[in-house]
Amino acid sequence: DTGVSQDPRHKITKRGQNVTFRCDPISEHNRLYWYRQTLGQGPEFLTYFQNEAQLEKSRLLSDRFSAERPKGSFSTLEIQRTEQGDSAMYLCASSLAGGEKLFFGSGTQLSVL
């Protein structure tokens, strides 16, 4: 069990650039979640997948954000035309369908200058 891995760990970008993050869940987990966390706050739900289907999206997820999980394994989260307000830790988690406990990766820290 290698756990949930996220890449990169840190990303610094300039405002207006596009960024893409990758998440590899625990191999037998068919649910995958994306959360965003800013300093001093709890994780805010963005979206989740069961296998390759995106089942729920938060209203926080503007049209600049898109997530995919093409083969039901790894997932990517893309942010287009980044803004300074996008600076945050982006956390990925996975679970078994019907499982209640989430397993988190270490996150990708995004800084938009």
Partner 1 sequence: SQQGEEDPQALSIQEGENATMNCSYKTSINNLQWYRQNSGRGLVHLILIRSNEREKHSGRLRVTLDTSKKSSSLLITASRAADTASYFCATDARQAGTALIFGKGTTLSVSS
Phi-psi region of 68 (alpha: psi -120 to 50; beta: other; left: phi over 0): beta
Query: Site residues (CB under 8 A) for partner 1?
Result: 4, 33, 35, 40-45, 48, 55-56, 91, 93, 100-107, 109
Minimum CB distance to partner 1, residue 16 (Å): 27
d(CA 29, CA 8): 21
Minimum CB distance to partner 1, residue 71 (Å): 21
**Distant-in-sequence, close-in-space partners of 16: CB < 8 Å, separation ≥ 6:** 81, 82
Whether omega for the bond prior to residue 8 falls within 30 degrees of 0, making it cis, is: yes
Nearer to partner 1, 44 or 52 (CB): 44
Nearer to partner 1, 41 or 51 (CB): 41
Minimum CB distance to partner 1, residue 13 (Å): 19
